[in-house]
Amino acid sequence: MSRMPLLALQNFVAAARLGNLTRAAEAANLTVSALSHQMRQLEQRLGYPLLLRQARGVKLTPEGQRLLDQVGPHLDAIGQAFQPFAARHDRVLTVSALPSMASNWLVPRLGHFVAAHPHIEINLESSERLTDFERQLQVDAALRVGAGQWTGLHAEPLFDEWLMPMASPALVQKMGGVDARPLSQWPLLGDPDGEWQRWFALVGDTAPTRYVAMLNDSESHHRAALDGIGVALGRVTRARLLLDSGQLIALSPQRLKTRWSHWLVYPPRSASHQGFLAFRAWLHAQASEHAQHMARLGQAAEG
pLDDT reading at 166 higher than 70 = yes
CB atoms within 10 A of CB 273: 20
Among 85, 118, 133, the domain boundary falls at 85
pLDDT reading at 280 higher than 90 = yes
240 and 167 share one domain: yes
Among 60, 85, 110, the domain boundary falls at 85
Ranges 149-158, 274-283, 286-295: which has the least confidence: 286-295
Label residue 130 by pLDDT band (50, 70, 90): confident
165 and 255 share one domain: yes
252 and 165 share one domain: yes
Closest CA to 241 of 98, 105, 99, 97: 105
201 and 252 share one domain: yes
Query: How far apart are alpha carbons 138 and 157 in whole angstroms?
Result: 23
CB atoms within 10 A of CB 275: 21
φ, ψ (nearest 5 deg) of residue 100: -65, -40
DSSP symbol at 131: P
Structural domains in the chain (count): 3
User: CATH number for the domain including 77?
Assistant: 1.10.10.10
149 and 25 share one domain: no
68 domain residue, yes or no: yes
35 and 63 share one domain: yes
Q: Are 258 and 235 in contact (CB under 8 A)?
A: yes
> Could you tell me the residue range of the domain that residue 139 belongs to?
93-156+260-296
CB atoms within 10 A of CB 239: 25
Of 180-194, 233-247, 269-283, the range with the highest mean pLDDT is 269-283
123 and 47 share one domain: no
Average pLDDT, rounded, for the chain? 87
18 and 80 share one domain: yes
Q: pLDDT by residue (tens digit) across 25-54?
A: 888 878 888 889 999 999 999 999 999 988
284 domain residue, yes or no: yes
116 domain residue, yes or no: yes
User: CATH number for the domain including 197?
Assistant: 3.40.190.10
149 and 289 share one domain: yes
Label residue 67 by pLDDT band (50, 70, 90): very high
Closest CA to 234 of 195, 263, 201, 260: 195
pLDDT at 303: 43
pLDDT at 301: 44
pLDDT reading at 95 higher than 90 = yes
pLDDT at 276: 95
pLDDT reading at 299 higher than 80 = no
144 and 166 share one domain: no
